[in-house]
Structure 1
């Protein structure tokens, strides 16, 4: 299968490396010339439980270099989704499918506006990755589940074909007849810890040692679960405590969430597609979501202070 990863950061490279080693023509498309050139020159250095190796990958900064593909896997930051997809339309041929594996809710609607809803599939992955430098990642693929599915819940041959391609590359993938519920399950896990660590700058070990923060996390998850129930979504997570526990499963006490990492790098976060999506669903359903609204406001305040500081530094 010819596949393009739109957004070859840590997660995109982890999945792209696995698909490449699985024999698929996989292209890593990224806007960073330094990162792409490093991969072209030296290959992608992948550190994982098996050790360290260099994978010869295909990498590009422009979609036109790649041409039409069978599958586009979208892994750009949430707030770049529309612009990135519009800039990568050279990847889209007559039968191209577009699969979002991004965190949060709402990406499928954004992608549908660009390429048409009939092309779009949804998914969630628990594969992990850390970008160590240009052309260098730490990858967590083994044993990590990925779920994909049609937005209407049908089990289709095209979804099964993607799952087969993923599984043949060691990506444990299941086609779900309730992908919307699966996406909400993952959202609950992100709601539990992302914003709180971004606000407090705490590692998981520190976060899980603070009862007051746990209480806040459970309240945020409770709001999200209530919104999902009101929206008719079927969840597999039955209680807020379960999301809190799952969020830390298999992770070291030194773990820093992607939201915290973004803020530490001076970058904007994906808060609008995580806690912010809970707030939007609450507004749509007429349900109060004060805890999530407060967490969003706090992250937005940190982003504003960060942006103002960067502007001041640029002037000096």
Structure 2
């Protein structure tokens, strides 16, 4: 199917790693795409030189208009919200006037962000999307696409509506294996479980694969995954597997061997990617900015408290990340020592 057959006008709100990659592929496939980003230098570079995608899947540059939120005018049929999770509320408030009546917003982010967008846009107009591909913003106008991963879209209600089917077709122009799911929140909760592991790897300078492959830390990673999955079950969510993360391996009845197998598969998946470190680590070590920890793991702690499900490791990990953000501690494997000590204390 050609892009012209669907003829939607697409607004990509957040032209960084996720939005820049997806948007560039859609432009290359003939879609009418407009980019929005708060970084004025990035917007200027896109307008002057185009948006360039680099990496193992080929280098290319596309031409598309780009704006900062304060200079944007007009309305769009479809808005792909691709900002960092902590910026969701402000972005949703800012983009709402640019959504046509009957249009849709797709949250293509980490975390349970449709719940936040619902406060500004009717839930029936807000879809969730789960992505696990590897990409990094390198510099103004340039994004590195380092590794493919699962792409999922679905209605919050779980219904396979015509709206969801139409948007699924659009995402297939980015990744032909994109999935239309009746359980998108199952994927998003699994990403929180995987995300807890990534946040733990990010307090060190190890790559994702090297960190997850350290057998002396496997019990810690296993318990972090189990904390998130226990909260997901209490929240009446059925987690979905993806790219080596098998939520069943972290459920209460699962064995340590099942968790080991899943961790091995996550190591293998990450070894295949040109993106060696998480975006979390990049935020801490390279870009020196706040991470998505509150907008991701904060949900786990919040719902854990609501349902009476203890999440001591997750809560302490959130604190560790904040201390790294504030500069009161430095990246290194010694940061895991506190989590190991807490794990021993909890098991005593």
TM-score (normalizing by structure 2): 0.81
Q: What's 1:233 paired with?
A: 237
Call closer, same or farther: CA 1:169–1:268 in 2, change over 3 Å.
Answer: closer
> CA 1:50 to 1:199, structure 2 compared with 1: closer, same or farther past 3 Å?
closer
Q: Is the 8 A contact 1:189 1:244 kept in 2?
A: no
Post-superposition CA distance 1:244-291 (Å, at most 9, x none) = 345444324971111111111210111113222211111111111111
3-state DSSP class of the match of 1:41? helix
Answer with 83-92 or 56-65: which moved more.
56-65
Match of 1:154 in 2: 159
Q: Which moved more, 1:47-56 or 1:178-187?
A: 47-56
- Between Structure 1 and Structure 2, how many residues are aligned? 304
1:47 equivalent in structure 2:
54
Q: Do structure 1's residue 100 and structure 2's residue 107 form an aligned pair?
A: yes
Instruction: Compute the displacement of 1:66 (Å).
Output: 4.6
Asked whether the equivalents of residues 268 and 303 of structure 1 are also in contact (C-alpha less than 8 Å), the reply is yes
Query: Which residue among 193, 209, 212 is the counterpart of 1:208?
Result: 212
Is residue 9 from structure 1 mapped to residue 30 from structure 2 by the alignment?
Answer: no
Unaligned runs of 5+ in 1: 308-316
CA contact 1:221–1:243 (8 Å) conserved in 2: no
Which among 258, 283, 292 is matched to residue 305 of structure 2? 283
Look up the SS of the partner of 2:288 in the other structure: coil
Report the counterpart of residue 143 of structure 2 in structure 1: 137
Closer, same or farther: CA 249–76 of 1 in aligned 2, 3 Å: farther
Q: Which residue of 2 aligns with 1:310?
A: none
- Could you report, residue by residue, the CA deviation over 1:70-111 in whole angstroms, capped at 9, with x for unpaired residues? 111111111111112222233212112111111122x11211
1:217 match: 221
1:31 shift after superposition? 0.9
Partner-residue secondary structure (3-state), 2:299: helix
The answer to whether the 8 Å contact 1:68/1:91 transfers is yes
Aligned to 1:18: 25
TM-score by structure 1 length? 0.89
Residue 94 of structure 2 corresponds to 87
Please state if 1:176 is matched with 2:178: no
Q: Deviations over 1:197-248 (max 9, x none)?
A: 2322322244134323222111010111111122221123211326534544
> Unpaired segments of 5 or more residues in structure 2?
1-7, 241-246, 251-258, 330-348
Match status 1:257 vs 2:278 = yes
Does 2:203 correspond to 1:199?
yes
| Partner-residue secondary structure (3-state), 1:51 | coil
Structure 1 residues 243, 285: CA separation in 2 closer, same or farther (over 3 Å shift)? farther
Aligned to 1:177, what secondary structure does the other structure show?
coil
